[in-house]
Amino acid sequence: MSIKLVLLKSGDQIIADTKELVRGEETHGYILNKPHVVVATRPMFMEEDEDRTSVEITMSSWILLSKDENILVPTDSVVTVVEPVEDVVKLYEEKLNG
């Protein structure tokens, strides 16, 4: 399993088991298995404390009304593909495994 964080041109951050769709030597798209949207927000605190760097993470199915588990995303919709931090990978795996 290769869990990646995919940033789309729409601004969505998608976490999924990601595979490249390659023809010849050129990547034409990405196949995302069980993609979820990741939303990170900084909680508001009553007091200003610059040392607080916590982030709240929520994730939900990317296309809520689809029963498809594999979704093809063309390369022209993708800004970048990166390795997610380990805590986000753990949250994703927990969500998938119940």
The pLDDT value given to residue 48:
59
The CATH number of the domain holding residue 45 is 2.30.30.100
| DSSP per position, 28-65 | EEEEEEEEEEEEEEPPP-SS--TT----EEEEEESSTT
Residue type, 46: M
Indicate the pTM of the whole model.
Answer: 0.85
The pLDDT value given to residue 98:
81
CB neighbourhood size of 64 (10 A): 7
CB neighbourhood size of 35 (10 A): 25
Residue type, 24: G
Give the structural domain span for 56: 3-97
The pLDDT value given to residue 50:
57
Chain segment 13-37, per-residue pLDDT in tens = 999 999 999 999 999 999 999 999 9
Domain total in the chain: 1
Place of tokens 């063309």: 74
Residue type, 63: I
